[in-house]
Each structure stands twice: as C-alpha cells, then as structure tokens.
Amino acid sequence: MTQFALIRHGSTAWNKEKRSQGQTDNPLDQEGREQAVLLAERLSSESWDAIYASDLGRAHETAKIISERLGINEIHLDPRLREMGGGQVEGTTEAERIAKWGPDWSTLELGREAAEAGTIRGSAAIEDICKEYPDGRVIVVSHGAILRNTLRGLVPALDVSTKLSNTSITRIEKKAGSWACELYNCSVHLNPAKDSI
C-alpha cells in the first residue's frame, strides 16, 4: 500500500487578488510561508519516505519548508505536477475576464489546458511515484486545479467540487490496485488555537 499526502502550495499575492495563476511562476507571500511552516509541523508527527513537487516556485518553496522540518534532503521536482495552463486567462481577475470576453468567458478555450489533459498528466505522475515507492508514504506538493483533475482520474467517485485551500492536505492511498481518498482538503493546521477549545 502506498500512501500520499497531496498538498496545495501556500498562498501568493495573486491568490489574494483572485488572479488566475496557471503556470505563471509566482513566489509564496509571507502568509504562504507561515502556512507552510504550520503544515510542516503537522506532517512532522508522521514518517515520510519522499517529497515530490511541481517545479513552479510556489510549490517548490512550500516543499522546501516541509523538507527542512522533516529532515528530508531531496525534493523530486516533476513538471507534470505543474498547475493547469491558463492560456490568456493567466494574470486576470474574474472582473477583468468578464470585461474582456463577456460573462460566458469560461465557455471559451482561450488557450487553456483541457481538464482531461490535466487528469492524464497528473494521474501518470502519481502512478509513476507509486511504482517508485510501492509501500511508501509520499508527500506531493502541487496546485489546486491539477490536483483536483488528478483526483478525478484516480478516485472518480470522489466529489472534488470544493476548491482546495492553500496548504490543505488530501490523503489518498493505493491498495490492491485501486485508489481511495480518506481525507479531502483538510487545513486544520492553519487554526491551531481551535484544537485547544
């Protein structure tokens, strides 16, 4: 059985501005770094064999903060874990998109990567990592849309309509050839005070 913690990167300035990031290579903001520290602390109570990450800066930096806390020296960067390509939409807000292409902008292609393409590349990356660690526990730091599309491929019955929060954990495992999700979009580590109430 292989177990995965699928993690969305920490927050960025564009997240706060609600700008589509896609494959634009933005860094974490200060809050994003703080989120990653809290996440790393949560993950440190468990044993992990490896960390994989998207090669985009915001995911790589999140993974680096985790790896330093866990004492895992190597981060395996895989471009297949990059966010979905946003084409002409990258860098725009919803209001800007409506102004430019109208209220039905989301029905237009605009050079965006198709959901099915994300499902194929994301699923392939996870399956390949699974082969490397057939009985391992692996952290994967990636992005919201590619992770949700990957989950659509691996666990088709899972409801992925809720967008993933920054530094949320989604746990999946492969057992006897099939995938299951035991936790989706959990970010309790960002509110540590609530645990003590």
Question: What is the separation, in whole angstroms, between the first and last Cα of the chain?
Answer: 35
Residue 87 in this model has a pLDDT that exceeds 50: yes
Amino acid 197: pLDDT: 41
User: Can 173 be counted among the known catalytic residues?
Assistant: no
For position 196, what pLDDT does the model report?
46
Instruction: Give me the pLDDT at residue 191, please.
Output: 87
- The torsion defined by the Cα of 186, 2, 33 and 57, in degrees rounded to 10, comes to -120
Q: Of the residues 83, 90, 113, 143, which is catalytic? A: 83
List the domains of the chain with CATH numbers: 2-195 (3.40.50.1240)
Q: How far is CA 141 from CA 65, 80, 95, 99, 151, in A?
A: 11, 12, 29, 34, 14
Mean pLDDT of the chain: 96
Choose, from 9, 60, 143, 189, the residue flagged as catalytic. Answer: 9
Identify the weakest region by mean pLDDT among 110-114, 163-167, 193-197: 193-197
Prediction pTM value: 0.95
Q: How confident is the model at residue 194 (pLDDT cuts 50, 70, 90)?
A: low
127 noted as active-site residue = no
**Chain segment 121-170, per-residue pLDDT in tens:** 999 999 999 999 999 999 999 999 999 999 999 999 999 999 999 999 99
Q: What is the mean pLDDT of residues 64-78?
A: 97
